[in-house]
C-alpha cells in the first residue's frame, strides 16, 4: 500500500492548504449535504455524516456552514441537488483509478474526466472495469513518533482492527468499515493521537511506475483531486519516494 499511503498523506496536507483557498470547503459542504440527505441529519445515527462533520471541523469550517449544509440535505433549506457517481479508468502504465463524484451535472463532468485522463496518458473506462481491484476498508493513520508500537498494536487489535502496518513514519490501522468508529474511539480513550481516519478503498494489488509514467500519474491524480466534483480518488500505483517527493513538492 506504499503508493496509496504516501499519496494519502500528501492529499491530507494539501487539503489544509486548499482550505485557505476555500476549495476544501466546497467539497466538504457537498459531502455533508449528501450524507444528511441519504442518512438523516443526526450525526449520532449517521456515521457518514459524523465523519464528514469531523473533516469539516478539521479544516476549521464554521459551525454555521456545517449546519446549513445539513439543513439543505434534510430539505429544511433549499439547495442544489447533488448526485453520487463512481467513475473508473486507467492511468499511465495501466494503473487502476477509481473516482467518487458528487455532481449536479453528469453531462458536464464525464467529458472533463475523459479529457484529464487522456491528457496524462490514461483513459476513462466502463463501469466495473477496475472497481474489483479495490476493497472498502477503514484506514486510520497514526504518526509513528507519537506512539509505542506494542501499545498501539494492543489497543487497536483489542478494539477490533484487522491489521496494523508500518509505512515509513506512519502506522496504518486497517479495519472493517463498520468498525472504524469503534477503533478510533478506543485509540482516543488511550490518548493515542490519530493523524487521519476514514473509510477508503484500498488496492488489492499495485502497479510500479517510474520515470515519465510516474510523473504523469501524479499529475493526473492532482488534476482529478482539484476537480470540484471529485470527492475521492483511489489508485493502485506504487511510485518511488524520491519521484513522489519531486513531483508533489
Fold observed for domain 2-74:
Arc Repressor Mutant, subunit A (1.10.10)
Average pLDDT, the chain: 88
Which of the two residues, 114 and 244, has the higher pLDDT score?
Answer: 114
Tell which CATH architecture fits domain 84-132+205-248.
2-Layer Sandwich (3.30)
pLDDT at 3: 46
pLDDT at 59: 83
pLDDT at 2: 44
The tens digit of pLDDT for each residue in 184-240 reads: 999 999 999 998 888 899 999 999 999 899 999 999 998 998 898 999 999 999 887
Query: What ranges do the domains of the chain cover?
Result: 2-74, 84-132+205-248, 133-203
Let me know if the fold of 2-74 is the same as that of 84-132+205-248.
no
The tens digit of pLDDT for each residue in 117-137 reads: 999 999 999 999 999 999 999
Class of domain 133-203: alpha beta
CB 224 within 8 A of CB 118: no
The tens digit of pLDDT for each residue in 36-76 reads: 999 999 999 999 999 999 989 988 889 999 999 999 999 99
Query: How confident is residue 1, by pLDDT bands cut at 50, 70 and 90?
Result: very low
pLDDT at 166: 87
Cα(149)–Cα(220) distance, integer angstroms: 35
Amino acid at each position: 500500500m506504499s503508493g496509496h499511503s504516501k499519496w494519502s498523506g500528501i492529499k491530507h496536507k494539501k487539503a489544509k492548504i486548499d482550505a485557505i483557498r476555500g476549495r476544501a470547503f466546497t467539497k466538504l459542504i457537498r459531502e455533508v449535504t449528501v450524507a444528511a440527505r441519504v442518512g438523516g441529519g443526526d450525526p449520532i445515527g449517521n456515521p457518514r455524516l459524523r465523519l464528514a462533520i469531523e473533516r469539516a471541523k478539521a479544516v476549521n469550517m464554521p459551525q454555521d456552514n456545517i449546519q446549513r449544509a445539513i439543513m439543505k440535505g434534510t430539505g429544511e433549506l433549499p439547495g442544489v441537488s447533488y448526485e453520487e457517481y463512481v467513475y473508473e479508468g486507467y492511468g499511465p502504465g495501466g494503473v487502476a483509478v477509481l473516482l467518487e463524484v458528487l455532481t449536479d451535472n453528469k453531462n458536464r463532468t464525464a467529458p472533463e474526466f475523459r479529457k484529464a485522463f487522456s491528457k496524462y496518458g490514461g483513459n476513462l473506462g466502463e463501469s466495473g472495469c477496475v472497481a474489483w481491484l479495490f476493497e472498502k476498508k477503514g484506514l486510520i493513520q497514526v504518526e509513528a513518533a507519537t506512539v509505542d508500537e506494542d501499545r498501539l498494536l494492543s489497543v487497536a487489535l483489542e478494539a477490533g482492527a484487522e491489521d496494523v502496518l508500518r509505512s515509513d513514519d506512519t502506522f496504518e490501522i486497517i479495519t472493517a468499515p463498520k468498525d472504524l468508529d469503534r477503533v478510533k474511539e478506543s485509540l482516543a480513550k488511550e490518548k493515542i493521537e490519530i493523524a487521519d481516519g476514514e473509510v477508503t478503498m484500498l488496492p488489492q494489488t499495485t502497479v510500479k511506475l517510474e520515470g515519465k509514467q510516474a510523473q504523469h500519474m501524479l499529475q493526473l491524480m492532482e488534476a482529478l483531486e482539484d476537480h470540484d466534483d471529485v470527492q475521492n480518488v483511489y489508485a493502485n500505483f506504487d511510485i518511488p519516494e524520491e519521484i513522489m517527493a519531486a513531483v508533489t513538492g
